[in-house]
């Protein structure tokens, strides 16, 4: 097997060596941060020092940091916890206003509330580059401000890298006393993220997206936000997230956040240069490839610097992914949480891209270990992979193959 080139940092980025060392050191110490003896107090000290480090990195107060198991739990606590609390206090507040291109951790939490709790939802649409308009959010709110429980709009999209106007949306929502949640999982370490400055009331982050361990994350929550917890037990984390704290993971996340924020400007410059080289090289191959979303050379404000999203006509993205993987290139067709589901991306469809075009999507995401050699290897592997994927697609779409598919349903769409 050839050496693998990793271009899927949006799914998870390799843990930084310094973080691995810190986690290993902490695991050797032990101690439950809820215990009152010497080992417990030492563990608590690590947790609270880490809380202060995370707060400093993300521009918030330490008391606003709630440790969780990652982005999905944080999104669920933000969406469900806010809706339950606000609806219990005022039964009129049934409505959620949510971006159409959110991660499924948000979308599925919303769907649960709609299907099981009587919530309703209005969708914030996006334009052809995946950006939402604060004016539409205002119109949705002002239709009936007293019925809105929460607005949720992600900081940066996990598939196409579009950065959203979170601060503008928060300002609009706050005119009517409505809290705002933002999923900033993809943004941290790639663009400046300041919780207080953004005006958001709730913010989701996940350590493994910026060089920390998997299974550790935070929900930043302003002290005046009312949340109903998802879990009950020991009453940890402001009684909002019961459970024994992962001291080693929390220490690792705090260090990763400090390192990521400390090197942000250098990383932006490096990643945007690699991204631009990848996009320019792909377009120059003569394969009729198109770039999804806004792209300007050197842009690090409207698109994540490490995100390149390409659409390859005449290909099925999954076929292209497997062919590239066989050639030593690891990338994705979209969110890792939806991997293996043979359907076009809801993000691309929301942007007005046809189902056929959306099926030929590739997401290439760069991170702190990425190099020029990675980009060159991808560009070398892409043309033969495209040729084989197009040939396979034309074969499977021939009349004979469609007839055979009608009599043999094995391998059809999973649900």
Catalytic residue IDs: 337
SS3 per-residue string spanning 319-371: HHHHHHHHCCEECECCCHHHCCCCCCCHHHHHCCCCHHHHCCEEEEECCCCCC
Cβ neighbours of 218 (radius 10 Å): 31
At residue 199, the 3 state secondary structure works out as: coil
Q: Which residue has the tokens 């997206």?
A: 209
Q: What's the longest Cα–Cα distance across the chain?
A: 74
- Residue 83 neighbours by CB under 8 Å, 6+ apart: 96, 113, 117, 119, 149, 150
Q: How far is 386 from 323, CA to CA, in rounded Å?
A: 8
| Structure tokens, 339 | 């991997």
Q: How far is 377 from 2, CA to CA, in rounded Å?
A: 11
Cβ neighbours of 297 (radius 10 Å): 11
The b/e string for 34-56 (b: 16+ C-beta within 10 A; e otherwise) is eeeeeeeeebbebbeebbebbbe
Helix (H) or strand (E) holding 65: strand 65-68
Q: How far is 294 from 128, CA to CA, in rounded Å?
A: 9
Q: How far is 353 from 366, CA to CA, in rounded Å?
A: 24
CA 229 to chain centre: 22
User: What does the DSSP 8-state code read for residue 15?
Assistant: P
């Amino acid at each position: 097997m050839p050496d693998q080139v990793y271009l899927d940092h949006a799914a998870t980025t390799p843990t930084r060596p310094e973080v691995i060392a810190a986690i290993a050191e902490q695991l050797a110490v032990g101690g439950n941060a809820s215990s009152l003896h010497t080992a417990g107090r030492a563990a608590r000290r690590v947790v609270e020092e880490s809380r202060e480090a995370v707060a400093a990195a993300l521009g918030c107060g330490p008391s606003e940091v709630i440790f969780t198991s990652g982005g999905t739990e944080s999104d669920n606590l933000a969406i469900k916890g806010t809706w339950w609390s606000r609806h219990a206090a005022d039964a009129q507040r049934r409505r959620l206003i949510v971006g159409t291109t959110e991660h499924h951790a948000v979308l599925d939490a919303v769907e649960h509330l709609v299907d099981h709790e009587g919530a309703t939802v209005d969708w914030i649409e996006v334009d052809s580059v995946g950006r939402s308009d604060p004016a539409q959010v205002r119109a949705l709110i002002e239709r009936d401000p007293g019925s809105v429980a929460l607005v949720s709009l992600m900081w940066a999209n996990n598939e196409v890298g579009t950065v959203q106007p979170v601060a503008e949306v928060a300002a609009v929502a706050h005119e009517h006393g409505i809290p705002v949640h933002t999923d900033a999982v993809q943004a941290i370490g790639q663009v400046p993220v300041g919780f207080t400055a953004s005006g958001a009331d709730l913010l989701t982050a996940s350590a493994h997206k910026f060089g920390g361990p998997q299974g550790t994350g935070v929900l930043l929550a302003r002290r005046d936000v009312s949340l109903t917890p998802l879990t009950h037990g020991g009453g940890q984390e402001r009684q909002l997230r019961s459970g024994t704290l992962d001291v080693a993971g929390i220490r690792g996340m705090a260090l990763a956040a400090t390192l990521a924020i400390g090197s942000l400007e250098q990383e932006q410059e490096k990643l945007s240069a690699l991204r631009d080289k990848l996009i320019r090289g792909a377009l120059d191959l003569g394969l009729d490839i198109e770039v999804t979303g806004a792209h300007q050379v050197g842009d690090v404000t409207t698109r994540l610097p490490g995100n390149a999203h390409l659409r390859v006509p005449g290909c099925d993205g999954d076929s292209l992914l497997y062919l590239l993987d066989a050639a030593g290139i690891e990338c994705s067709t979209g969110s890792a949480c939806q991997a293996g589901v043979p359907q076009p991306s809801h993000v691309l469809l929301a942007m007005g891209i046809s189902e056929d075009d959306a099926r030929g999507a590739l997401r290439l995401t760069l991170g702190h270990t990425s190099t020029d050699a990675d980009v060159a290897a991808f560009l070398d592997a892409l043309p033969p992979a495209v040729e084989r994927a197009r040939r396979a697609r034309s074969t499977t779409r021939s009349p004979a193959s469609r007839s055979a598919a009608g009599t043999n349903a094995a391998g059809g769409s999973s649900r």
